Structure 1
Amino acid sequence: MTRANTPMKPQRENDFAYQAVYRYLTVLINASVSGCAVRLPSLRQLAERLNVSISTIQYAYSLLEKEGRVYSVAKSGYYAQASALMVPSGNASDVLEAVYGNARRPGMCVLSADEPASLQSLDSPLLMLERELLRQYPRQPQLLAQPCGELELRTVLAARYTVSPVNCWHADDVYVGADLRSVLEILIAVLQLRGVTVLVESPCDWMILRLLEAAEVRVIELPLQADGQLDPQQLLTLLQSERVGLILLSSALSLPHGSLAPDANRQLIAHLLANHGTWVLENDCSSELADEPCVQRLRDWLDPDRLLVFSAFDRLIGVEAPYGFVLSRQWRTELQRHFLLRSFRLSATRQKALARLFTSGRIDQHLQVLRRLLKERRTQLNHLLRERLGDAVEIVEPQGGATLWLRSVRRVDMSEVFQHLLRQQIVIAPGELFSLNGHYPHHLRLSPISHSDLDLPDVVGRVADALRLAPGD
């Protein structure tokens, strides 16, 4: 008899033989799964091979089926799921690919997303307004296309960001691109950041981090304190010891952290940066999602001539408004040249419709509803996590946004938690994605917005079980 067919040591059924079968099948699946489904041994074959009953094999298969690792086909048998459900091991970029890939698979419970507008969007009103404009106005010739964005939209944005005669913007200071990623790529090129030292508020959005990494920017992460404040002394030390070319900070609400630093702290940080003449790149993507929308922005205390602000519409409005934009008083020639070279083919009518959603007040009304709905969902998730996990996790009390940031008090292997939940068709965002330097290995970000057909208490129960059962130090 070959080694592969050597029976396991006899076990009594009440000694949970199915656990040994489960472990055997797990190794078998990991070794055999490639890019396509793989047929697994039949119940009878495994019963004979492992010297256990068919019912034990059946129970082990049923556990794997509930976890999403196998599926059955009538009159054919069991098959291992394609490898897209398996998590690559190694580095954060592998995990990021697994998060993105699995979040797009049908039937997955996605707790990793941060898409606030998916809860309540303005896509339909935007498209209806666009159709009305198409009926009212003929299509403009391509020669009249504006490479930096439609003038009407840029004018509206400039007015929305103007708060005083000093902190003011004009349409020529606004640049609209196809999406946030392309706008940030242009900024990195215009500012010539390759090899430059950039301070980044941490934790930070993974897309921004990967863009900086790909551009060979030297990133130093500036960690947020538990209450969302930045340490002024730590910042001062870095400004004095490093040749900092730029600092990337949130305008108000810091995501994924979910915190809102006190005005006094942000004002102090702004004064430190002004004293050192540091260029500031302000992330304004989430400021409108703060529970208290009237808070002052970081830019209110900064020199507008040493400031760039970027944001996007899709988080607030929906997927039909994918555009990103940047505001800058400086770098006008270079920004115009790069936007012209990109040749973004953006719908002028869609941009006009977007501008009119702003001028009509429709977006501000929408934001009031969206903030309320997001807070209700976050509160529900927060309550369930505290109920199921108690003191086992520390949760940042969110002050806006669509997610929760939490840390396991026990030093668990979060990659094991990630894999365990993927096998149950649940996708989370491990904390390691939000750092380039290996920070937050025991953290995760969760969103209560999209949890498929599963009941949220049930999903939270599975997350709690995965955290409890994960190996730790």
Structure 2
Amino acid sequence: MKDKNDFAYQAVYRYLVRLINEVQTDSTLKMPSLRQLARRLRVSISTIQSAYSLLEQEGRICSVPKSGYYALPASCEETLTGEGGSVLDRLYHNVRRPGVNMLSGDEPSLLLASQGVLLGTERELVRQYPQRLDTGFQPFGDMELRSALAARYTHDAQDCWHAEQVYIGPDLLGMLKAVVHTLRLAGSCVLVESPCHWTQLRLLQSLQVQVVEMPLDDDGGVRLAELDQLLTEHSISLAILSSRLNPVRGSVAPLHNRQAMAHQLNRQQIWVLENDSHGELAFEPRDTCLREWIDPQRLLILGSFDKLLGPEAPYGYLLCRHFEPLWQDYFLLRAFDLPPVRQKAIARLCSSGRMDQHLTELRGLLEARMQVMGQLMDQHLGRWVRFEMPRGGSGIWAETQQGVDLRQVFDTLLARRLVIAPGELFSLSGLHRQYLRIGYALDWHQDVPKMLETVGEAIRLSQIR
């Protein structure tokens, strides 16, 4: 079944997609269990779990506790009409359905997916370890990868990290959940910059965290007086902030603004969780990271590999100098079973310098596609939106004219099998209703100019008179 040029995970994913697309009924279909598929396809259960997790993120399947996974039939045309449910529900249910195009995705690695930098390294390891790699019980992640990450984040002899301060988990959201659980944040206030990705917002909300949103200004910085007011009005337990690049806007706060914000947080003795999931995608990677000004005794760092290496490397990681017994208890209880060879492959990429080479090439491709998308948006959407070119990442944050009903735009485009991400998705308190995000890390074999022309027409038709 497996193509020699593919991970087992990719082959399993394609097998499941075909299985789902064969559904012809109007009801859901129960999918095979993890163990059934592992035996049928002769792969590990963790490989099956990775494929199922991505399908669930794409809205193709849903999981039912104590029952299993269920596929939603691809022929459900009623979900393409935009009727019923929230905007987020409809986005999840329709994205990547057959014939539906996603114009607001956040998959920067898509532009380099065919290069196979991780695949090549994993092949080298398989040749080096022809028998199944037995690394023993490593509930906190592969030690080689933990050491590589500690070295990557070490700044100097004073600001250094060690392998025992690094923890590896299934994905970014899983690690964020670990933070909320371990620090006992349920019921407490957590400060986030806004816009913030909807997956993080909804996860925090589902864990009974009170989310306090801090809107960014036009330059991508924080209004310091407003921050001071929020810190006064709310008992903030944790601030979740970008390392340098806001993932949604692609903006980088001015240096003096980041320094002043860090000073305010330090003065109030606020714990800071620095989100570094997109930090390496800043077009000027030498920009100083927020962590360099945060009190190291109150700093945690959250990151992941999927935006850099693709869905074959979904793992998240956390760096923390404190609460070692609590982190160990959390991970020991869950005993995540992560493929050791793939973890070692990522570690070798980091330690050999090939990760940096890969990122240099990826940033170059992203910046080139950004320029093309900006020109196309000027041509097809110039009458309806205004935007600043991002300083990194994979999307353009655009503001529509007053009077544009973006929910109606979303519904109109959905009926035409085109999905966008309205700005309201990136807030829990109703912010950004006049914004939308257009991604440029997409399949450029599509007729992108035509897609933008369709967006412009939908905006024109939606204007509130």
Give the TM-score band, short-chain normalised: 0.7 to 0.9
Confirm or deny: 8 A CA contact 1:123 1:319 kept in the other structure. Answer: no
Instruction: Determine the C-alpha separation between the residues in 1 that align with 2:84 and 2:431.
Output: 17
Structure of greater Rg: 1
Of 302, 305, 312, the match for 2:297: 305
Are 2:450 and 1:455 aligned?
A: no
Distance 2:119 2:380 in 1: 42
Aligned to 2:34: none
Aligned match for 1:294, one of 286, 294, 306: 286
Question: What amino acid is the match of 1:290?
Answer: A
Q: Tell me the secondary structure at the aligned position of residue 450 of structure 1.
A: coil
Tell me, what secondary structure is at the counterpart of 1:334? helix
Shift of 1:391: 4.8
> Deviation at 1:452?
6.9
Partner of 2:70: none
Give the equivalent residue in structure 1 for 2:265: 273
Q: 1:334 aligns with which of 317, 322, 326?
A: 326
AA paired with 2:80? L
Identity of matched residues, % = 45
2:92 paired residue among 85, 89, 100: 100
CA RMSD of aligned residues (A): 1.8
| Alignment partners' CA distance in 1, 2:445 and 2:145 | 38
Pick one of 392, 402, 405 that aligns with 2:397: 405
Q: What does residue range 192-271 of structure 1 map to in structure 2 within 5 Å?
A: 192-271=184-263
Deviation of residue 129 (structure 1)? 2.3
Q: Secondary structure at the match of 1:310?
A: strand
Alpha-carbon distance between aligned partners in 2 of 1:426 and 1:176, rounded to the nearest angstrom: 36
In structure 2, the residue matched to 1:85 is 80
Give the drift of 1:140.
4.1
Q: Deviations over 1:93-112 (max 9, x none)?
A: x3222212222212222112
Q: Quick check: 1:252–1:298 contact (8 Å CA) kept in 2?
A: yes
Q: Which of 178, 182, 190 in structure 2 is aligned with 1:186? A: 178
TM-score, normalised relative to structure 2: 0.81
Going from structure 1 to structure 2, the CA distance change for 1:89 and 1:472 (only over 3 Å counts) comes to farther
Counterpart residue identity of residue 180, structure 2: I
State whether residues 117 and 358 of structure 2, in contact with CA within 8 Å, keep that contact through their aligned partners in structure 1.
Answer: no
Deviation string 1:90-135 (CA, Å, 9 cap, x unpaired) is 5xxx322221222221222211210000111377332332233233
- Give, as a single letter, the amino acid of the residue that structure 2 aligns with 1:131: R
Stretch of structure 1 that moved more, 441-450 or 110-119? 441-450
- Match of 1:364? 356
1:294: how far off? 0.5
Asked whether the 8 Å contact 1:289–1:371 carries over to 2, the reply is yes
Cα distance in structure 1, aligned partners of 2:403 and 2:331: 46
The counterpart of 2:407, out of the listed 407, 415, 430, is 415
Distance 1:254 1:391 in 2: 26
SS at match of 2:317: strand
Please report how far the alpha carbon of residue 454 of structure 1 lies from its aligned counterpart in structure 2 after TM superposition: 3.3
* Structure 2: gaps spanning 5 or more residues: 1-24, 28-74
Q: What residue in structure 2 maps to residue 139 of structure 1? A: 132
Q: Is the 8 A contact 1:154 1:171 kept in 2?
A: yes
Amino acid at match of 1:85: L
Quick one: structure 1 residues 312 and 447, their matched pair in 2 at CA, closer, same or farther if it must change by over 3 Å?
same
- Cross-structure match for 2:56: none
Between stretches 234-243 and 266-275, larger displacement belongs to: 234-243
Provide Cα deviations, 1:377-407, integer angstroms capped at 9, x if missing partner.
1111111212223253121320011101111
Assess, with a 3 A threshold, how the Cα gap between structure 1 residues 452 and 241 changes in structure 2: closer, same or farther. Answer: same
Structure 2 counterpart of 1:284, which letter? D
Q: Which amino acid in 2 is paired with 1:295?
A: D
> Counterpart of 1:120?
112
Q: 1:277 offset after TM fit, Å?
A: 0.6
Residue number among 386, 390, 394 corresponding to 2:382 in the alignment: 390
Structure 1 gaps, min length 5: 1-33, 37-79
For 1:165, the equivalent position in structure 2 comes to 157
> How far off its partner does 1:413 sit?
1.3
So what's the TM-score if we normalise by structure 1?
A: 0.80
